[in-house]
Amino acid sequence: MGAPDRGSPARPPPGRARPHLARLGPPQPDRPRLGGPGPGADRPVDRTARRLRPPTGPGDPARRLTRRGKQPTAPTRTLGRVDGKVVLVTGGNAGIGKETAIALARLGARVLITSRDPRRGAEAIEEIHTRSSSASAEVVPLDLADLASIDACAAAVQDRTDRLDVLVDNAGLMLSQRTETRDGFETTFGVNHLGHFCLTGRLVGLLRHGAPARVVVVASHAHKVARRGLDFDDLQSTRHYRGFSAYARSKLANVLFTLELARRLSGTGVTANAVHPGYVNSRFGRDGDGYERVISLGGRLLAISPERGAATSVYLASSNAVDGATGGYYARGRPAAVSRAGRDDVAARRLWATSEQLVGPFGP
């Protein structure tokens, strides 16, 4: 036999393993899949539940190691019926808020959505009725940048129902230029955190009457950008303002608010969990310049649909798999890791106290 072609590797003698394969060791048994069959897998799941089941894949946050090297347990991500339950979704007139409302209406809920714009609110209600057949849906006016509007919204909800089973704190914004709310708060912090802090407090009595009840706070992985935590000496961003940085701090405030809310409501039958909806195509940052435009463009390139973005909120609002779960942070239907700043109990308590100083005591 002639010498092997120089362009081809020489074959090893018979019976000898190839070196690069030998280093891999013996064949490994198949590893169990995350999110496989679990309790209740034999139960029928309606089409809405199947379609909205959060996706899994190599990039799923549940596959990433959390702190201390532990992987979060993968729940059974099927949705539950919520027939007759009363659900309030802030910002339910557009985007993931509207998709959250539609999905919960399909699952049987009586849905209340809030909207600052009456016309857009009415259009959203019409779409909810169209896409969920005979769903019960109503709009309640709300401007989270106005404490008087928050009080009026809470009063309107109390006039319409004697209980609340689910509150989804969903509405939010990001602004390239610093502005202030009617009450003098920096708008991003005022709407994304203070507005929801105040509204949740005004509605906590209805949530207690609806117990077991749930609060779902739509946060974001953007909270991890605020690595140094909240600057309690400048929560209003008066020294320096950058749109995305202010947004990231407001999302960290959402995570800390959820942590402290869960602690304070422990034993009441009301749970509180935060979610990262994913990078949903939106108008965030499109009116900005420089860094905000880059963030907005990156978000659009990686964006998922509003329906998929709503999936984890719908899961936390409806699934029996998370009964009693509280104080958590979820992404793609699974527990996800938060930043070190997002686990700071001292900061969470301080934020609560500061928020009460700014908008008044938490409660009806």
Active site residues: 247
Instruction: Report d(CA 318, CA 80) in Å as an integer.
Output: 5
Which residue from 79, 77, 98 is spatially nearest to 89, judged by alpha carbons? 98
CB 341 within 8 A of CB 347: yes
* β 329-331/334-335 pair status: antiparallel
The alpha carbon dihedral of 215, 210, 145, 309 has a sign of positive
Report CA-CA distances (Å) from 321 to 40, 73, 315.
Answer: 9, 12, 9
Which residue from 328, 318, 356 is spatially nearest to 108, judged by alpha carbons? 318
Tell me the residue type at 344: D
CB 108 within 8 A of CB 96: no
* β 166-169/86-89 pair status: parallel
CB 77 within 8 A of CB 22: no
